[in-house]
A and B are shown apart, each in its own frame.
Chain A
Amino acid sequence: MDYFLVVLFQIVGTVGNLALISVGLAVIFGMMRVINLAHGEFIMLGGFAAIFSTQAGINIWIAMLVVAPLSVALLGVVVERLIMRRLYGRMVDTMLASWGLSLLLIGLATTFFGNRVVGIAAPVGSFRVGGYSLGAYDFVLTGVAAVVFAGGYLLLRMTRAGLIARATMQNREMASSLGIEPSRVYAVTFAIGAGLSGLAGGLLAPISGVLPTMGVAYVAKAFITVITGGASVVTGTALSAALLGSINTISTFLTTPVVGDVALLLAATIFLRLLPTGITGRIFKGAP
């Protein structure tokens, strides 16, 4: 019984984790139809930002929740200005250019930070469920993910900024003729997306450590989660994270981590074949 509860906690943790590493990519893809393959490197840089600022004496929570997202969002502004702005509407080109950016960032991080793992200790302790001891940090991750998703949902649904964002997303020309500046919306969206990737990186730093090449492990998973989610940024990503995260955790517990990953990928493949436009392309149409 305890073990069942432990597995359940683990599922919640994995889903939160998956949602968190996907949300930055989801915002950029959902709003701008830009597939940002440098997403993993944004996560990596968020991790480095959190670790370096903690080492510089900044409180770890501020480092993870403020410094990491802000510094990566700043990078996002620069990248949008220099590269992405020239490529809007050319989906394959944005993907290739961001792939180039990903290689460049890995190279730069390796050169300047060295190719070795750095880490910080998790800031919260553990708790017990029957005979088992679990890290409480997983719940911090899931909690932050829940806040981000709820905030995103409310932002898009309830505020004027959300209305503008949704309008630009649905019909760029129409929004533009109504007096909205699409390029500004895009710039802000890209910065927010990058910032959320940075947040994920900052929060992951204590449990996985940070390495210049760590992004590769996340980008494919995030990419698949977002595409499986479909057109709706918030609802789609949350639903597909829940689905894929559960499949992954259950199969990992039953067998090995490799089978867990393979099950996740296989499920996504079959799912996309059945619903080629993702979950929210068919089922929860119209949710933001």
Chain B
Amino acid sequence: MNISRRLFLGGTALALTTPWVSRAAFAADPINIASIYDLSGGLEIYGQPIDACLDLAVAELNEAGGLLGREIKVQKYDPQSNIQLYTQFATEAATSLQASVVFGGITSASREAIRPLLGRYQTLYFYSPLYEGGVCDRNTFCTGSTPAQTIGKLMPFAVQNFGKKVYVLAADYNYGQISAKWVRDYTEQAGGEVIAAEFFPLDVTDFSAAIQKIQREKPDVIYTLLVGGNHMSFFRQWAAAGMAGQIPIVSTSFGGGNEHIVLTPAESDGVMAAFGYFQEIKSPTNEAFVKRYHAKFGDNAPYVTEHASATYNAVHHWANGVKKANSLDRMAVIEAIESGSTVEGPGGPSTIDPKTHHCATDVHIGKVKNHSFEILESYANQPPADTAAVCDLVANPNDNQQYVIE
């Protein structure tokens, strides 16, 4: 009984007014799918909009008649930002619920915890948050952006506009470590130089030493790959030291955890980020999407992050596969998705790349101003070139690993 309260209330209201119609629409058993996102604990702030967009996508599919004439039923698991629960819930979703597909994982750590399990139990898996790239696994589809798409555009932009000397601050786990290497790579390609890279465990809240070191090194631009609530202290202490606006800050993580909403404009204005999606994108598709989102979840619904919009795309990619295969069989759905799937998502078209199981998407650079992003640049249809350089699932369907840039 883990249907979210929101969905449940909405559902009852509908059922009360039109009891027979909603029953009659779906004759057969529902299709069980599972979602595993942190809806409490430290990662809640990432999980809430993701969860809302998953609900929205599923509701849209059900309103259009479901899949194969059956209703889609989401079983939600909340791992409470605890990796141990991820493995337990993934096992339950695969073995006990026998879910047709699992959408789940926010941090790369949680993905790597459940990906092998879902492979072992032969359950199709979609990972939607943006990440460091390189996952090459036929059972897994990744719909979020990867470094080649975002860093590959942001770095030339930064070097061109601000200068060649780059100082990197990153979270100390595989996302930060690997992304920092990509930053170095793309900085050098753009003719710049990374003069220092510092890594901070997720529980660090004191950045004063780093702030002094940055002032000593005098970089032209700072690249942050900081993650989570504790790391927001960097921006507070940066502003408190009177440094806000002194050195431009660019990022491919800022905003993913609502940083631009939580921090004051004095602390966050001017930070630039590159993502596959911003809620502020001006396009008819996105404006309609945001309208539907607020109609369903109210005006105070959380800011839609790239993680969330890519989750919306993920559900529709899966639905495309099921429709095309006309079956829920795992291999049939995988092959159907591989044969081509494009979702007109809120951030622009998202197209599956069959070789890597990643998506080509539009990429945008935005700048924070008074709690929202102003879009500065947009780049259409960027391929996941980082993963594509090492991974070819068409040639090696049994490959199953995460490639890491050396």
Which residues of chain B are near A211, meaning CB under 8 Å? 42, 229-230
Q: How far is the CA of A253 from the CA of B242 in the complex (A)?
A: 20
Instruction: Tell me the minimal C-beta distance from A59 to chain B in angstroms.
Output: 17
Q: Is the CB of B201 within 8 A of A252?
A: no
User: What is the chain B residue whose CB lies nearest that of A124?
Assistant: B240
Instruction: Tell me the minimal C-beta distance from B301 to chain A in angstroms.
Output: 15
A3 within 8 A of B: yes
Instruction: Tell me the minimal C-beta distance from B393 to chain A in angstroms.
Output: 37
Query: A121-162 vs B: 1/0 string, CB under 8 Å?
Result: 110011110011111011000000000000000000000000
User: What is the chain B residue whose CB lies nearest that of A251?
Assistant: B209
Which residues of chain A are near B264, meaning CB under 8 Å? 119, 121
Q: Is the CB of B41 within 8 A of A257?
A: no
Q: Which of A97-105, A202-210, A229-237, A273-281 is the contact stretch? A: A202-210
With A121-B266, A217-B205, A257-B204 known as contacts, the answer to whether A133 contacts B215 (CB < 8 A) is yes
With A217-B203, A257-B206 known as contacts, the answer to whether A134 contacts B241 (CB < 8 A) is yes
Which residues of chain A are near B267, meaning CB under 8 Å? 121
With A117-B232, A209-B229, A257-B200 known as contacts, the answer to whether A126 contacts B240 (CB < 8 A) is yes
Q: Is the CB of A125 within 8 A of B232?
A: no
Q: How far is the CA of A17 from the CA of B209 in the complex (A)?
A: 14
Q: Is the CB of B208 within 8 A of A258?
A: no
User: What is the chain A residue whose CB lies nearest that of B215?
Assistant: A132
Q: Is the CB of B266 within 8 A of A119?
A: no
Q: How large is the interface on B (under 10, 10 to 19, 20 to 34, 35 or more residues)?
A: 35 or more
B262 within 8 A of A: yes
B160 within 8 A of A: no
Q: How far is the CA of A126 from the CA of B208 in the complex (A)?
A: 13
Which residues of chain B are near A13, meaning CB under 8 Å? 208
Q: How far is the CA of A126 from the CA of B232 in the complex (A)?
A: 19
A115 within 8 A of B: yes
Q: Is the CB of A207 within 8 A of B236?
A: yes
Q: Is the CB of A132 within 8 A of B200?
A: no
Instruction: Tell me the minimal C-beta distance from B226 to chain A in angstroms.
Output: 13
A86 within 8 A of B: no
Q: Is the CB of A135 within 8 A of B237?
A: yes
Q: Is the CB of A257 within 8 A of B232?
A: no
List residues of A (222-281) whose CB comes within 8 Å of B's CBs. Answer: 249, 252-253, 256-258, 260
Q: Is the CB of B229 within 8 A of A116?
A: yes
A213 within 8 A of B: yes
Contact among B172, B205, B258 for A258, CB-based, below 8 A: B172
Contact among B41, B216, B241, B263 for A126, CB-based, below 8 A: B241
Count A interface residues, CB 8 Å.
Answer: 43
List residues of B (201-260) whose CB comes within 8 Å of A's CBs. Answer: 201, 203-206, 208-210, 212-213, 215-216, 229-230, 232-233, 236-237, 239-243, 246, 258
Q: How far is the CA of A14 from the CA of B207 in the complex (A)?
A: 11
B44 within 8 A of A: yes
Q: Is the CB of B242 within 8 A of A126?
A: yes
Which residues of chain B are near A258, meaning CB under 8 Å? 172, 201
A185 within 8 A of B: no
Q: Is the CB of B212 within 8 A of A10?
A: yes
Query: B171-213 vs A: 1/0 string, CB under 8 Å?
Result: 0100000000000000000000000001111011110111011
Instruction: Tell me the minimal C-beta distance from B253 to chain A in angstroms.
Output: 15
List residues of A (1-31) whose CB comes within 8 Å of B's CBs. Answer: 3, 6-7, 10, 13-14, 17
Contact among A10, A114, A207, A214 for B240, CB-based, below 8 A: A207
B124 within 8 A of A: no
Instruction: Tell me the minimal C-beta distance from A50 to chain B in angstroms.
Output: 14
Q: Is the CB of B263 within 8 A of A115?
A: no
Q: How far is the CA of A194 from the CA of B266 in the complex (A)?
A: 33
A110 within 8 A of B: yes
Among B40, B229, B237, B267, residue most surrounded by chain A Cβ atoms (within 10 Å) = B229
With A116-B45, A135-B237 known as contacts, the answer to whether A249 contacts B232 (CB < 8 A) is no
Listed from nearest, the 6 A-B pairs whose CB atoms lie closest are A126-B242, A117-B229, A135-B240, A122-B240, A135-B241, A133-B242
State the A residues within 8 Å of B (CB): 3, 6-7, 10, 13-14, 17, 110, 114-119, 121-122, 125-128, 131-135, 137-138, 206-209, 211, 213-214, 216-217, 249, 252-253, 256-258, 260
28 contacts between A and B (CB under 8 A): A3-B216, A6-B212, A10-B209, A13-B208, A14-B206, A17-B206, A110-B40, A114-B44, A115-B40, A115-B42, A116-B44, A121-B236, A121-B264, A121-B267, A122-B236, A126-B243, A133-B215, A133-B246, A135-B208, A135-B241, A135-B242, A137-B240, A209-B205, A209-B230, A209-B233, A211-B42, A211-B230, A253-B213
